[in-house]
Amino acid sequence: MKLLFEVILFAIPMVLLAWTLPRNYVLVSQILITGLFIGYQSPLSLLILTSVTLGNYYLLHKAVLKKSLKIVVSLCILILLIVSAKILFTFHDNWIIPLGMSYYIFRNIHYTIDRYQGRIRDESLLFYLAYNFFLPVLIIGPINRYPEFIRDWQRRRLNSEYFSLGFQRILFGISKIVILGNYLLTSKAPGFIENLDASHVWLKAYLETVTLVLNAYFQFAGYSDIAIGIALLLGFRIMENFNFPFLATNMQEFWSKYHMSLSAFCRDYIFTPLASYYRKPIFGLVVTMIIIGLWHEITLAFLLWGLLQALGIYLATLFKDSPTSWVSRNLGRVFVFNYFCLTCVVTDYGELGKALEVYKILFFIN
């Protein structure tokens, strides 16, 4: 919560300078303020982000190497960095993943691949710095893409609709985090569940599971709203990250609405190449969902979670041609909500042994 309001605090001068400084200095001011924010939070994080940005830019644009070798070296370094950070986080309780690393590494992987494929031609270090040092999406995404960032910069104008919508999204985001997440689901719900009669073991386990999932969702969706809102105030329209995922009627639709920037990234850069090359969509699906799971944390629990997501999506493809009705759509929504909540048991309770005990209760296994 403290980090959230510090982001907003640093965003205020950024927005003011964005519309008062001459255009040539706007991006510089945004880079400097974002740098000050990261340096204030974690000097190590600032050092790593700066090194990644300058190092990847030099490698892709200045290094005298074959184009194919450049992309291989760039991707290997970026993947090694994020995997190393996740492994250290998994095995060392006092290790904290550098601020925003999970997101800016994926943004740089996107930049590297699209640069190699010719979809990115701009060679400006200033724009690349501004793209990586973009405060709204730095901590919890969305994973915005470079061409859209440049397009918005080129079209950027004072827009009262953007300002109105931006403040509205920030208010929505704060409401989701403070009222729904912190107050109802963190402060009130546990007390209500604890006070249930001891005989209601199944209901307690179910409500605890649902509460954990909904709290994580509202926290994450709330920050995404705030990120989108701040970006709108700066004149940028970044992609949505959530689109009422729990109203999806199957797990395939769910993952097109849940953490949409990550889903789209993995679809474009993992699933599509694998499915096309091996001619086996199911292989691409399993690998993609495992990577999404391990992206959160490199543990057996998240590996299993990814496999369960792949299973849910595969089941959806088996019934994609089935006739639909009002009843079947709503039964599908009930299934999606409960299936996702049940898959999160393996990650929400810290230990697989504890998760297994919860599953025994939920499935009436003595």
Q: Per-residue pLDDT tens for 181-221?
A: 999 999 999 999 998 888 889 999 999 999 999 999 999 99
Cα-to-chain-centroid distance, residue 74? 22
Same domain membership, residue 335 and residue 212 = no
145 plus 6 within the same structural domain:
yes
Examine the fold and report which residue of 200, 215, 234 is the final residue of a domain before the chain moves on.
Answer: 234
Question: Can you tell me the distance from the alpha carbon of 305 to that of 356, in angstroms, rounded to the nearest whole number?
Answer: 13
- Whether residue 94 is predicted with pLDDT greater than 70 in this model: the reply is no
Last residue of a domain, one of 234, 267, 294: 234
Residue 97 reports pLDDT greater than 90: no
On the question of pLDDT at 87 being above 80, the answer is yes
* pLDDT at residue 5 is higher than 90: no
Provide the percentage of residues in the chain whose pLDDT is more than 90: 80
Averaged pLDDT for residues 282-287: 95
Q: How confident is the model at residue 14 (pLDDT cuts 50, 70, 90)?
A: very high
Question: How many domains are there within the chain?
Answer: 3
Mean residue pLDDT across the chain: 92
- Cα(62)–Cα(167) distance, integer angstroms: 41
Q: Is the pLDDT of residue 362 over 80?
A: yes
Phi and psi torsions of 158, nearest 5°: -60, 125
pLDDT tens by residue, 130-185: 999 999 999 888 999 999 999 999 999 988 999 999 999 999 999 999 999 999 99
**Cβ-based neighbours of 14, under 8 Å, separated by 6 or more:** 29, 30, 33, 34, 135, 234
CA distance 40 to 193: 39
In a domain, 239, yes or no: no
Residues 213 and 289 reside in one and the same domain: no
Are residues 90 and 19 both part of a single domain?
yes
- Which SS3 state, helix, strand or coil, does residue 97 take? coil
For the entire predicted model, the pTM comes to 0.93
* Tokens read off for 262: 């990550």
pLDDT for residue 197:
84
The mean pLDDT of 59-82, rounded to a whole number, is 94
Same domain flag for 146 and 164: no
Q: How far is CA 312 from the centre of its chain?
A: 20
The rounded percent of the chain whose pLDDT value lies above 70 is 98
Q: For residue 161, what are its two tokens?
A: 């609709």
Average pLDDT for 250-268 = 95
Q: What's the average model confidence in pLDDT over 30-35?
A: 97
Say how far apart CA 4 and CA 177 lie, in whole Å. Answer: 10
Q: Which long-range contacts (CB under 8 A, 24 or more apart) does 349-354 make?
A: 352/300, 352/301, 352/304
Amino acid at position 110, single letter: H
What range does the domain containing 164 cover? 160-234
Say how many residues make up the chain. 366
Span 331-345, mean pLDDT? Answer: 96
Q: Assess whether 279 and 340 both reside in one domain.
A: yes
| Together in a domain, 83 and 144 | yes
Is residue 240 included in any domain, yes or no?
no
Whether residue 17 is contained in a domain is answered as yes
Q: Where are the alpha helices (DSSP H) in the chain?
A: 2-18, 23-41, 43-61, 67-91, 101-116, 125-132, 146-155, 160-175, 189-194, 201-234, 251-257, 260-266, 272-278, 281-296, 300-318, 326-343, 345-348, 352-362
Q: Which positions are annotated as active-site residues?
A: 296
Indicate whether 96 pLDDT > 80: no
Average pLDDT over residues 249-276: 95
